[in-house]
Structure 1
Amino acid sequence: MKKYDILVIGSGGGTKLVTPPSKLGYKVAILEKDRLGGTCLNRGCIPSKMLIYPAEILALASDADRFQLDIPGPFRVDFKSLVQRISATVDSDSDSIAPAYEKNPNIDYYPFEGRFVENKVIQANGEFLTADRIFLAGGCRPFLPDIPGLVGTPFMTSREALRRTELPKRLLIIGGGYIGLELGFAYSSFGSETTFLVRNRMLSHEDEDVVNAFEKSFRKKHDVRLGTTVEKVEYDSGRFRLRCKAEHSEFELEGDALLVATGVRPNTDWLDLHHTQIRTDEKGYILTNEYLETTAEGVYALGDITGKHFFRHSVNFEGESLFQSLYVDKKRIPVEYPPVPHAVFTHPQVAAVGKTERELISEGADYISATNPYSASATGMARRSEEGFVKILVDRKSRKLLGAHVLGDEASNLIHVFILLMTMGGTLDDLLKMIYIHPALPEIARNAARKAREILAS
């Protein structure tokens, strides 16, 4: 059996516990059965945003007449070359990781699946490995709904959708979360006739005002069927046929491509956890405490596989926190999360940090809500923004922000004003001490803060 100081399963967020401790002299084993770099680099946030950015350019250009611009059309995209460029870029990044590991005498890279045979013993390609500490960062994979006829058809998940080089004429999408919406928006912008089949609401975990405004905006340019379930999938001669049921009707849809984006499931079933004392919840996510320790001594879990936060930026934070506490400070320190933000890169964009109003109401919080539209700002006037807004939720007594929600242009950038304020424990008054560049998007955040101050003073 080979013994290490550190053994990491998963090369996405898990990389934070590979190279940094190796530079301090620790012997590290990294196991990854797929491409190095994890979901984000290979089949997630990086290639998807590389696909979405040109789609956003097209979306903006499609509204050019609002600015008295006559841009000749129709727009055409070399979709095959675009996808090939994206794939080549991320593959190059992924391929550069193994040589770096090979040059490091303190890192052993195992390009194999790792499964537990007991609490701290992993079997990989016939070898048995152990370590003082084991870190599980195995992530998640697409969840497939139990729809009759789906299995065995050439449907796409996000993995295939990011590598497909042929633009479908008609794309059907099952799901109303951020993955389906982002990819569907991109395909639609490039010319696919796209239909979204959504069981309940779109982006249902967002603040209610954002959900309502997003649906209203998104449905102006996309075919969205809310309250719809897919009863059966058929495939024949390159065509998908879906039998669907809505509240008051049943109907069929046909398309030459199908994207299934109905959530994710943890990869814990690949680890043979039944050979260990590591416990999971009813959905299969690994249970951890405030130190990210599992129920087996010396075994930690981080990232998507714990079911807490499903973002690369959050697992990066977790990995960095564990490295700092365990290998720099050498103390058992709880992982204390600052406010964890997120964004949806559709058109319009959505971004948020902190609580939704729905959550505050359920908690009985004493708060006020203030909303300011993009249009009530100089830069909003320049952009002719019709639907964007900033909404902030403020504690009535402390005047601290409890949550912030943005819908509109560059929401993923604008939200950082509020991320910093909340992280630093600042108040509404701190937000209003700044001098804001005029005219710039952050002025919309300031205007929302001014409204909140007026409400608190009344």
Structure 2
Amino acid sequence: MADTNYDVIIIGSGPGGYVTAIRSAQLGFKTAIVEREHLGGICLNWGCIPTKALLRSAEILDHANHAKSFGLTLEGSMKADVKDVVARSRGVSARLNGGVGFLMKKNKIDVIWGEAKLTKPGEVKVGKSSKPVVEPQNPVPKGVKGEGTYTAKHIIVATGARPRALPGIEPDGKLIWTYFEAMKPAKMPKSLVVMGSGAIGIEFASFYRSMGVDVTVVELMANVMPVEDEEISKFARKALEKRGLKIITEAKVTKVDKAADSITAHVETKDGKVSQIKADHLISAVGVQGNIENIGLEALGVKTDRGCVVIDEYGRTNVPGLYAIGDVAGPPMLAHKAEHEGVICIEKIAGVPGVHGMDHRKIPGCTYCNPQVASVGLTEAKAKEQGRDIRVGRYMFNANGKAIALGEDNGMIKVIFDKKSGELLGAHMCGAEVTELIQGFVVAMNLETTEEELMHTIFPHPTLSEMMKEAVLDAYGKVLNA
């Protein structure tokens, strides 16, 4: 009879779940992970990774269309083959999906295929999945664990999230898309309406615009990417509009009429005026919600709030022995937050000395549109709301030699310091490769670095990273190359 008792069972194999399982095994726990569909979760299969593959194709197309500015002449016209673009994206996901399976075997983690339900403290019942299991195919192959009852002293819920749907504008998979359909179009549409300008909405808007699609973005708030610093948001909007995106802010889609092969979105602005926009499809990108239903949380009395499990800084719920991490545990709903949260959770369980609780102020956010946007810490407005006396520094890409050489001289870096202590409170960027640059400021904040250490750090030349130091110097009236 198969062994069904574990030290740790993790429900969900997304970035948070599988990373936590690996760290659990490293710490000596007998570990199992329950997955109902595919290893790697939404991020690896339908989110972070495949979207970046799509955006890479878009980036190359953008460069090709501007080859003349680099002194290059391309024979004929550059065209995007949507089938091949999607196939490459799916291939990237498949490769990484297999990598997660390898890591499970390497770390001797049991993968239990099926749908998990918490039946009582310390017990998980795994039934047949309501979704088509991608790997292995049903029925579960011999030698692989599947349906049954399993027990563990510690159970970690990492069930992730799904697209949020607005009443009356529910996705239908044909005319109204979520990111699932937007990621694998059968043919390239001629026009799109994107509802919501968070990271998901703006990334798809950017991708489809690069592919030549007429894109209109409708955002309820006053600024696109509303969680970002207002100055950066406005800068990004201008750059996106220069690329041909149409952006309507302080507006909402109130109704969608469907025809055989098109939609008409009724868009109401804050002054009450309503206009109609006809397009081939509408992408609903109004956020995501935690997968808390049908997993037994109610029966166990687990506390939830606004569709997410309530936890402390170590991932503990109000029920002893039950934990939650990642998207299901609330915002920010980011893969890297889920991974770090999971490591904190399992190390706290193991009694590892010096474990620090999750500090949400130091979680970076990245949006991979063109131009990219990245940030960490407080915005200027939030710092002022907290009554901080601040110094703000800025540096523009058009003063940086590497950016000019790359032909990527439209961007800016903004830093915010506490005037009294020199503490770095926040960093905000828009421009080429800022999603790679932001980690420098994240490390600085984690080390409690002040402006003095940053000013005495030698940045290599010529690099985009030099602008990070120049922005710091600007905050203190010492900027050199501007």
- Could you tell me which of 128, 136, 140 is aligned with 2:161? 140
Check 1:170–1:74 CA distance in 2 against 1; reply closer, same or farther (3 A cut): farther
Q: TM-score scaled by structure 2?
A: 0.87
SS of residue matched to 2:345: helix
Match of 2:320 in 1: 297
Asked if residue 91 in structure 1 is aligned to residue 94 in structure 2, the reply is: yes
Secondary structure at the counterpart of residue 47 of structure 1: helix
Gaps of 5+ in 1: none
Q: C-alpha root-mean-square deviation of aligned residues, in Å? A: 2.5
TM-score (norm 1): 0.91
- One-letter amino acid matched to 2:183: L
Alignment partner, residue 33 of structure 1:
36
Per-residue deviation, residues 294-329 of structure 1 (Å, max 9, x unmatched):
0000111111111133211121112223333433x5
SS of 1:18 mapped into structure 2: helix
Distance 1:390 1:152 in 2: 39
Match of 1:176 among 192, 197, 212: 197
Counterpart of 2:208 in structure 1 is 187
Task: Determine if the alignment matches structure 1 residue 57 to structure 2 residue 60.
Answer: yes
Of 332-341 and 37-46, more deviation after overlay is shown by 332-341
Distance apart, 1:266 and its partner CA: 0.4
Corresponding position of 1:256: 280
Other-structure match for 1:109: 111
Map of 2:445 onto structure 1: 422
Q: Equivalent residue of 1:251, what SS?
A: strand
Mapped to 2, the partners of 1:332 and 1:326 lie a distance apart of 12
CA 1:73–1:232 in structure 2 vs 1: closer, same or farther (change >3 Å)?
farther
Aligned residue in 2 for 1:432: 455
Describe the SS at the equivalent of 2:278. strand
Change (3 A) 1:24 1:306: closer
Q: Deviations over 1:65-113 (max 9, x none)?
A: 5556555664301110121122133124324544764687x53322211
Q: SS in structure 2 opposite 1:437?
A: coil
Deviation at 1:244, TM superposition (A): 2.0
- Work out which of the residue numbers 230, 242, 265 in structure 2 matches 1:208: 230
Does structure 2 conserve the Cα–Cα contact (< 8 Å) formed by 1:375 and 1:384? no
Distance 1:196 1:442, change over 3 A: same
Bigger mean CA offset, 427-436 vs 172-181: 427-436
Correspondent of 1:228 among 251, 256, 272: 251
Equivalent residues of 2:116, 2:126 under 8 A apart: yes
Question: Structure 2 counterpart of 1:410, which letter?
Answer: E
Taking a change above 3 Å as real, the CA distance of residues 24 and 406 of structure 1, as seen in their structure-2 partners, is: closer
> Sequence identity of aligned pairs in percent?
30
Structure-2 change in CA distance of 1:228 and 1:71 (3 Å): farther
1:219 aligns with 2:241: yes
8 Å CA contact 1:52, 1:345 repeated in 2? yes
What CA distance in whole angstroms lies between the structure 2 residues aligned with 1:420 and 1:332? 18
The one-letter code matched in structure 1 to 2:429 is V
1:129 Cα offset (Å): 2.2
CA distance in 2, matches of 1:217, 1:89: 29
After TM superposition, the structure 1 stretch with the greater mean CA deviation from structure 2, 177-186 or 221-230, is: 221-230
- Tell me if the contact between 2:57 and 2:85 (Cα under 8 Å) persists in the aligned partners: no
Q: Tell me what 1:124 maps to.
A: 126
Stretch deviating more after TM superposition (63-72 or 43-52)? 63-72
Contact 1:149 1:234 in 2 (8 A): no
- CA deviation after TM superposition for structure 1 residue 440, in Å: 1.4
Displacement of 1:334 after TM fit? 4.5
Matching residue of 1:353: 376
Distance 1:68 1:107, change over 3 A: closer
Unaligned runs of 5+ in 2: 128-146
* 1:16–1:323 contact (8 Å) kept in structure 2: no
Q: Could you tell me how far apart the structure 2 residues matched to 1:77 and 1:372 are? A: 35
In the aligned structure 1, how far is the partner of 2:389 from the partner of 2:76?
53
**Which amino acid in structure 1 is aligned with residue 84 of structure 2?**
S
Deviation at 1:234, TM superposition (A): 2.2
Contact 1:84 1:165 in 2 (8 A): no
Aligned AA (2:167): D
Following superposition, the deviation at residue 170 of structure 1 comes to 1.6
- Number of residue pairs aligned between Structure 1 and Structure 2: 453
Q: Which position in structure 2 is the counterpart of 1:46?
A: 49
CA contact (8 A) 1:137 1:305 kept: yes
Aligned 8 A contact 2:410 2:431 in 1: yes
Shift of 1:148: 5.1
Structure 1 stretch displaced more, 190-199 or 397-406? 190-199
Whole-Å separation in 2 of the counterparts to 1:8 and 1:149 = 31
Compute the displacement of 1:276 (Å): 0.7
Q: What is residue 138 of structure 2 aligned with on the other side?
A: none
Residues 103 and 334 of structure 1: CA distance in aligned 2, closer, same or farther (over 3 Å): closer
